[in-house]
Amino acid sequence: MTVIEEKVSVIIPVYNCRAWVKRCLDSVLEQTYQNLEVLVIDDGSEDGSAEIIESLARKDSRVQYFFQSNQGVASARNRGLMEASGGVITFVDADDYIEKDMYEKMLTVMKTQDADIVECSCRRVRPDGKTIVDNHLKEETVIGKRQCVRHYLRQQNVTNYVCNKVYRKELFHGFSFPNLKYSEDYYINNMVHARAEKKVIMPEIYYNYVLYEGQATDISHVSLSNFDGVKAGRLVAECFKKDRELCTYAAVYACEYAVRTAGQYLSYCPGHWNEVRKQIRNDFLYCYRHVVSADHIDIDVMAKRRQYLRFFRKGEIERGIFVPALPELAKREKQQQKSSRLLKLMCRWTMDAQKGMKPVDYLIKRSWYSVAVYGIGDVGKCLLSELADSAVTVKYVIDRRQLELDLPVYTPEDDLPVVDCIIVTAVTEYGEISRRLKKKLDCQVISIEDIIYQVE
């Protein structure tokens, strides 16, 4: 039997789509290709969608209506796969609609080119049908099971939808959509593409993807379930873990999804970075470890790994969005950086002293004989000790604390006496301190690091 003669099982999950479901079903039932069974899975609708569906079913025997308690779109699609009797499987979302010759055109390509999967282009439209954007794919044919799944995993000239594709039914044998709210399409598409010997991609637009307020993909309604895409990526990476290249593409998908979705989620839920980390921790770190170098990968693996590690450690989001970590985490990170810089500074200071190189020599070389020291912590005390009884005179110190010294102590807000140079010993805050001091006093302001590392 040729493909063009086969029955096509159209699976349509429905949940509270009373306003849209008739338009959707009409677009399917009015197809120029008529050998269809339309499997409508009502996933617990409470808005009267059932009345519309049952009315259409009474008029057209091709419509089969199934009701189940609300379990999610993945469950509804799996029910449709169980009930399907056609040799070709396709899907439509109940709030979308299709062009009247979609199945005729796509099944003709499936027959003439002996393809297992045919994918068409789609357009995004408003609820009133006005076009938002046309998403044209390039015409392309992919041959071979590994090439089909590799092409899909690379996410170039493909979409993650199942609704703009027709599939040979046998590709789904033994597979089901995972119980995820997002990216269940991504998972199942990888599984069936790995079985396909040939796929054809069409540039023609036959599927209309409706965007409206409150839709599951509307980022203003994000929740932690939006991170299901990270789980989907991990599931796929696990399936292909014996193939380094395929596994890496899946792992990159998961990590990119995490970074992008975190930016969206945290723009609406600021301060919830810890919740995000907890939600994605295991799946994200699993995928991070599986982003590896392999032959033929067109990805800068090392750059990606650095990006993902920064993201997970510090909450850094792509495209310039920065999400601060929890206050204690940020404080700890800052303290670690400061400790590392101070340790290196003191090691260098000690090594220079053994060679007879001292900070006082740096100051005398520049004729800075009258100085002030900003910050009397451990570094400041070492500097005062070094400059004692030298040709350089410390006129005063600047610190907010009450200190018992033989020198005058000023706060940063006080009127400061003129000196040749102020030496800032607070290494991590030097930039801001320097700017403030230069507004108050016309003199040199230099970091202790510049002196120790002999910065000219």
- 269-296: pLDDT as tens digits: 777 888 888 899 899 999 999 999 887 7
pLDDT > 70: percent of the chain: 91
Q: How much is the pLDDT for 294?
A: 80
User: What pLDDT is stored for residue 221 in this prediction?
Assistant: 60
In sequence order, what are the residues at sequence separation of 6 or more whose Cβ sits closer than 8 angstroms to the Cβ of residue 437? 374, 412, 416, 422, 424, 445
User: Residue 2: what pLDDT?
Assistant: 44
Average pLDDT (250-258) is 95
In this structure, what DSSP letter does residue 138 have?
A: P
Model confidence at 331, pLDDT cuts 50, 70, 90, reads: low
Residue 217 pLDDT > 90:
no
Between 316 and 403, whose confidence is greater?
Answer: 403
Please tell me the predicted confidence (pLDDT) of residue 316. 54
Q: What's the mean pLDDT in 48-74? A: 95
163 DSSP 8-state letter: T
What band does 106 get if pLDDT is binned at 50, 70 and 90? Answer: very high
Q: What is the mean pLDDT of the chain?
A: 88
Q: What is the reported pTM?
A: 0.69
pLDDT value, residue 263: 82
The answer to whether residue 319 scores a pLDDT higher than 60 is no
pLDDT at 357: 87
The whole-number average pLDDT for the span 32-41 is: 97
pLDDT at 219: 47
pLDDT tens, position by position, 127-153: 888 898 999 999 999 999 999 999 999
Task: Give the pLDDT confidence score for residue 257 in this predicted structure.
Answer: 93
Residue 322's pLDDT band (cuts 50, 70, 90): very low
> Which range, 26-30, 301-305, 327-331, has the best average confidence (pLDDT)?
26-30
Residue 1 predicted with pLDDT over 60:
no
pLDDT at 10: 98
Q: What is the pLDDT of residue 333?
A: 56
Range name among 17-21, 67-71, 108-112, 335-339 with the lowest pLDDT average: 335-339
Q: What is the pLDDT of residue 198?
A: 98
Asked if the model's pLDDT at residue 250 lies above 60, the reply is yes
Q: Which residues contact 382 (CB under 8 A, 6 or more apart)?
A: 346, 349
Question: What mean pLDDT comes out for the span 199-226?
Answer: 78
- Would you call 172 helix, strand, or coil by DSSP? helix
pLDDT band at 432 (very low <50, low <70, confident <90, very high): confident
- Answer left, alpha or beta for residue 277, where phi above 0 means left and psi between -120 and 50 means alpha: alpha
pLDDT at position 216: 43
Most confident among 7-16, 126-135, 261-270 (mean pLDDT): 7-16
Average pLDDT over residues 423-444: 86
- Position 326 scores a pLDDT of 41
- State the Cα torsion 19-24-29-32 to the nearest 10°: 140
pLDDT score recorded for residue 155: 93
What is the pLDDT at residue 332? 59
pLDDT at 214 over 80: no
- CA gap 314, 311 in Å, rounded: 6
Q: Which of 24-38, 84-98, 246-260, 350-364 has the lowest mean pLDDT?
A: 350-364
Is beta strand 393-398 parallel, antiparallel or unpaired with respect to 409-410? parallel
- Give the lowest-confidence range in 132-146, 339-353, 375-389: 339-353
Q: What is the pLDDT of residue 410?
A: 92
Least confident of 204-213, 258-267, 306-315, 390-399: 306-315
- CA 443 – CA 211 distance, rounded (Å): 62
CA distances, 210 to each of 39, 167, 217, 225 (Å): 21, 22, 11, 22
For the chain, what is the radius of gyration of the CA atoms? 33
Mean per-residue pLDDT, 213-238? 78
42: pLDDT strictly greater than 80 = yes
Distances 128 to 94, 208, 447 between C-alpha atoms, Å:
15, 12, 64
Which domains does the chain show, CATH number per domain? 3-210 (3.90.550.10), 219-325 (no CATH), 333-452 (3.40.50.720)
Distance between CA atoms of 58 and 376, rounded to whole angstroms?
A: 87
**Mean pLDDT of the 23-46 span:** 97
Q: What angle do CA 256, 262, 268 make, to 5 degrees?
A: 150
- Kindly tell me the sign of the dihedral angle through the C-alpha atoms of 87, 188, 39, 76: positive
